[in-house]
């Protein structure tokens, strides 16, 4: 599965379709975030931030136990699409922080450390809880970061 993340092609599960899926999910579930990032300029493109997560399958970005939980689901479902879904879920979860960013540097700071995130609850919330997918889920994290 990991080798698919380094394959540039149009086949499902390779890098380009995963990037397109991520961008589509962010645009669809958090249009206000997409608009805000577009206003910040091309350096604030969501894919610029999420690309390292996608190409590495979150290895080195999440805690080891979270990466293993994620990859357990990837192997179990037989699809790397969960990587793009998790990347979009992180954007939706941190939507309020993203919307408060006024510069690209502030935006980078919002996503600098993902080690506090729990992959499976984020995936479940994004897929099954409409309030997280609409960007309202980052309140707890916003309060914790203050």
Choose among 103, 122, 116, 104: nearest CA to 48.
Answer: 104
Rounded CA-CA distance 43/4 in Å is: 26
DSSP state, residue 113: -
Q: Which range, of 2-11, 58-67, 128-137, averages the lowest pLDDT?
A: 128-137
Rounded CA-CA distance 60/1 in Å is: 17
Instruction: Please check whether residue 4 is in contact with residue 56, taking contact to mean a CB–CB distance below 8 angstroms.
Output: no
State pLDDT tens for residues 75-105: 999 999 999 999 999 999 999 999 999 999 9
Choose among 82, 15, 22: nearest CA to 50.
Answer: 22
What pLDDT was estimated at residue 57?
Answer: 93
What pLDDT was estimated at residue 14?
Answer: 81
Q: Is the pLDDT of residue 143 over 50?
A: no
């Amino acid at each position: 599965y990991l080798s698919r993340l380094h394959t540039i092609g149009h086949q499902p599960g390779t890098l380009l379709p995963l990037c397109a899926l991520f961008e589509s999910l962010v645009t669809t579930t958090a249009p206000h975030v997409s608009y805000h990032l577009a206003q910040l300029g091309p350096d604030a493109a969501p894919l610029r931030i999420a690309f390292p997560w996608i190409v590495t399958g979150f290895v080195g970005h999440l805690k080891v136990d979270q990466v293993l939980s994620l990859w357990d689901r990837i192997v179990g479902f037989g699809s790397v699409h969960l990587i793009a879904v998790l990347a979009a879920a992180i954007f939706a979860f941190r939507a309020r922080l993203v919307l408060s960013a006024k510069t690209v540097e502030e935006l980078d700071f919002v996503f600098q450390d993902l080690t506090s995130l729990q992959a499976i609850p984020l995936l479940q919330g994004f897929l099954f809880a409409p309030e997280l997918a609409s960007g309202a889920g980052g309140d707890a994290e916003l309060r914790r970061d203050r």
